């Protein structure tokens, strides 16, 4: 083999390696963007869930003590809880745990206030209460879905970032490793809402 042939083979191998690395870097970037987008969607759904809970608490559909507890938990989730978006790209690691606890407290308050199936049937008997409950069910279900999609995106990103080539060549740059968002979100047992609203 001549020197020109060896050089040509070496250039071909280097070009192939470069293509593989560029593709990996693009995949990492796409997954990070997907995580940011799903985090934004999750934030919006959590705020809608808190708003629906606050509306239910303000509507005289619950007993006064339960209404106060739900209203305080909804206020904490909608206003005082740290946001999942709007800061540094890696802020979910810092705020996700605290936000998850606040959202779990809202879930616990809702479960306690809504009671068992008999209490829910009584609430559904009133047309105004039924409409509020339907909205709450819908927003809770959408928040569950948003959290699952977000966590799926995070897991896919984490798996790709564990690839030896991604780590060796630092293809993720300085982006923080995304983390899953954990919270108790089973207000109604995880079933989809009765209507498709």
Q: Are 109 and 73 in contact (CB under 8 A)?
A: yes
- Mapping DSSP to helix (H, G, I), strand (E, B) and coil, where does residue 92 land? helix
Q: What is the mean pLDDT of the chain?
A: 92
**pTM score above 0.85:** yes
The pLDDT confidence band at residue 195, using thresholds 50, 70 and 90, is low
To the nearest whole percent, how much of the chain has pLDDT over 90?
A: 85
Q: Which residues contact 24 (CB under 8 A, 6 or more apart)?
A: 160, 163, 165, 166, 169, 171
- Mean pLDDT (whole number) for 94-105: 89
Q: Give the pLDDT confidence score for residue 86 in this predicted structure.
A: 74
The pLDDT confidence band at residue 189, using thresholds 50, 70 and 90, is confident
Q: Any idea where the domains of the chain sit in the sequence?
A: 3-168
- Mean pLDDT (whole number) for 57-71: 95
CA distances (Å), origin 89, targets 39, 46, 161: 10, 19, 16
């Amino acid at each position: 083999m001549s020197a020109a042939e060896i050089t040509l083979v070496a250039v071909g191998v280097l070009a192939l390696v470069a293509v593989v690395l560029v593709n990996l870097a693009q995949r990492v970037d796409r997954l990070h963007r997907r995580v940011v987008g799903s985090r934004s969607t999750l934030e919006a759904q959590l705020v809608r869930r808190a708003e629906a809970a606050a509306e239910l608490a303000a509507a005289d559909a619950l007993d006064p003590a339960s209404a106060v507890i739900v209203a305080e938990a909804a206020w904490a989730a909608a206003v005082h809880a740290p946001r999942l978006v709007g800061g540094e790209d890696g802020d979910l690691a810092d705020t996700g745990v605290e936000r998850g606890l606040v959202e779990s407290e809202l879930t616990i308050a809702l479960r306690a206030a809504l009671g068992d199936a008999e209490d829910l049937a009584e609430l559904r008997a009133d047309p105004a209460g039924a409409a509020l409950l339907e909205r709450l069910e819908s927003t809770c279900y959408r928040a569950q879905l948003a959290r699952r999609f977000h966590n799926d995106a995070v897991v896919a990103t984490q798996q790709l970032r564990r690839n030896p080539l991604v780590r060796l060549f630092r293809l993720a740059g300085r982006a923080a490793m995304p983390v899953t968002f954990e919270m108790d979100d089973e207000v109604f047992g995880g079933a989809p809402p009765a209507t498709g609203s």
